[in-house]
Amino acid sequence: MKKARNARRFPAPTVDQFLFVARKLHDCQSRCMLTFATPLDVDRLTKAIRLSLDVEPVLGCRFVEHAWKPFWEQWDDLDEISSCTIVQPRHLESECWQFLAEPMHPCDDPQIMAQIFRDRQDTLCIKLNHMVADAGGIIEYIGLLGRIYRELTHNATYRPSVVGYRSRGQGQVLRRVGIMPLLRGCSHYHLPASAWGFPVTGTDFSERTFAIRRLQPGWYQGMKTFCQKHRVSLNDVLMAAFYRALILSIDPPRSIGLPVQATINLRRYLPEGHAARICNLAGVFFPEIIPTSTASFEEILRQIHEVMEKAKDEQPWFGATLSLETTFSLGFSVGRTILDYLKVLKATPDKMHPFFANIGNITPQQVDFGDVQVVDMVMIGPVPYPPASMLSVNTFNGTMNITTGFCHSATDSGLVERFLDMYVAELPI
């Protein structure tokens, strides 16, 4: 792949720069698997991917490090980037996992890769660099890809309208929410010390794989009924089960605060259509509970509900975002030095915040490919390096998908599988 002689350049906002540095904690890739009822038209899909690079040009760029302001620079051969091939797999799931696990480098590779696995049904696997898109960004991208694919069905010469560059940074959120939420968020934000982590069994983080549990619509409806009865949110329940399964799996120290890094979609604070589709607007905060040696699921759920209700008033994610923007305001090199000095991105040998991402319910209307119906959609987050762990949950057509990625060369695979089983067992129906 070649760099263009007079390449277009685009600013790399603070969150992109931060996630470039944060690659020491995880592989910084987000993934999606879509299963279709009927076969895809490969030529049409390849053309749709190519046209999507005109609408969202950062996907056809490479990241360029710079001491003051890094930037995105467009590759010359965008047709090569958009190429999508068909694989006839012998073992569908394992070969999909293998493709999704293969690393991408933001400076040397395109920011998106796609492949179709044709078995009894077509499975489209897409991976994007997490620097350019969070889970919400991936859903937006799939929606864009589906819209272009639909239009090409009726008009082979279709060209989507290109709005031009729009802000991709989280600073746009801070500029719109007002001074009082920012002050309140800053006063309640703090980065807690790590207190637990998955046991590390090796130093080779190159071998990655995934595990998944799928709950059919009856489970989803049962949990919604439980939430209504107990006046808690589905997110409260999902996070309480995460805490409970972690406690049962790794037996952390009791009677001290156990934090988890959770995400919140900051798009809710922007007007419809204001932000670029493909960007990273995932805010972070650290809910923390203090379990006792006999803490039941109901006790943990009560604590989680109280913590989350308090967070809705305090909005600590604004403090996290403002802190990040301030850190890199003096330049990329200085920001990275500050993070290293404060050991923000340093994991101790046996402790690192677990990551939890509730991506939420995705509707078929959000991922509409027209004459080929999406019948299943699974979202998978970045693979954390041990001792960190991450769980992602998304629901599509009533089916809840619970996924985790891990380095099986440095993590006890059996422990991960037991953890997922414990997580499912804790969920109420």
Note the pLDDT of residue 79.
86
Q: Do domains 9-154 and 173-363+381-426 have the same CATH topology?
A: yes
Residue 332: per-residue pLDDT: 97
- pLDDT score recorded for residue 2: 54
Instruction: Give the whole-angstrom CA distance, residue 299 versus residue 297.
Output: 5
Predicted pLDDT at 347: 77
In the predicted model, is pLDDT for residue 94 greater than 90? yes
Architecture of domain 9-154: 2-Layer Sandwich (3.30)
Residue 236 · residue 305 · CB < 8 Å? yes
Nearest to 134 by CA among 35, 262, 9: 262
Q: Map tokens 């889970």 to a residue.
A: 135
What are the structure tokens assigned to 148, written together? 């272009």
Greater confidence (272 vs 414) lies with 414
Determine how β-strand 258-259 pairs with β-strand 288-289: antiparallel
Given a cut of 60, is residue 369 above it in pLDDT?
yes
Q: What is the mean pLDDT of residues 123-148?
A: 96
Q: Note the pLDDT of residue 3.
A: 55
**Beta bridge mates, 284:** 263
CB 426 within 8 A of CB 297: yes
Q: Quick one: DSSP state of residue 252? A: P
Look up residue 192 and give its DSSP letter: P
Q: Tell me which of 51-55, 80-84, 172-176 is least confident.
A: 80-84
* pTM reported for the whole predicted model: 0.94
Residue type, 361: N
CA-nearest of 289, 260, 283 to 196 is 260
pLDDT at 162: 85
Pair type for strands 9-11 and 71-74: antiparallel
262's CB contacts (< 8 A; 6+ apart) are: 239, 284, 285, 286, 287, 355, 356, 357, 358
List the structure tokens of 219: 């489970």
Rounded mean pLDDT, 207-211: 95
Residues 6+ apart with CB under 8 A from 191: 286, 320, 344
* Mean pLDDT, rounded, for 281-310: 92
Q: Is the pLDDT score of 277 beyond 80? A: no
Tell me how far apart the alpha carbons of residues 274 and 283 are, in angstroms, rounded to a whole number. 17
Q: What is the distance between the terminal CA atoms of the chain, rounded to a whole angstrom?
A: 51
Buried b (16+ CB within 10 A) or exposed e, 244-272: bbbbebbeeeeeeebbbbbbbbbbebeee
- Band (5; pLDDT cuts 50, 70, 90): low
Neighbouring CB atoms inside 10 A of 64's CB total 16
Q: Where do the domains of the chain lie? A: 9-154, 173-363+381-426
Six token digits for residue 261? 């890094």
Q: Is 387 helix (H, G, I), strand (E, B) or coil?
A: coil
Q: Nearest 5 degrees, angle CA 298-CA 379-CA 395?
A: 50
Quickly list DSSP for 109-159: S-SEEEEEEESSSEEEEEEEETTT--HHHHHHHHHHHHHHHHHHHH-TT--
Across residues 295-306, what is the average pLDDT? Answer: 94
Half-sphere CA count of 346, side-chain side, radius 13 A: 10
Determine the Cα–Cα distance for residues 392 and 414; give it in Å rounded to an integer: 19
Instruction: Provide mean pLDDT across the span 67-90.
Output: 91
Phi, psi of 20 (to 5 degrees): -65, -45
173-363+381-426 — its CATH code?
3.30.559.30
CA distance 291 to 157: 60
SS3 356: strand
pLDDT at 155: 96
pLDDT in tens, 132-143: 999 999 999 999
pLDDT of residue 6: 62
Higher-confidence position of 194 and 82: 194
Rounded to whole angstroms, the Cα distance separating 59 from 47 reads 15
pLDDT in tens, 230-275: 999 999 999 999 999 999 998 888 888 999 999 999 999 988 766 5
pLDDT tier at 278, thresholds 50, 70, 90 = confident
d(CA 304, CA 288): 8
Reply yes or no on whether the pLDDT at 276 is more than 80.
no
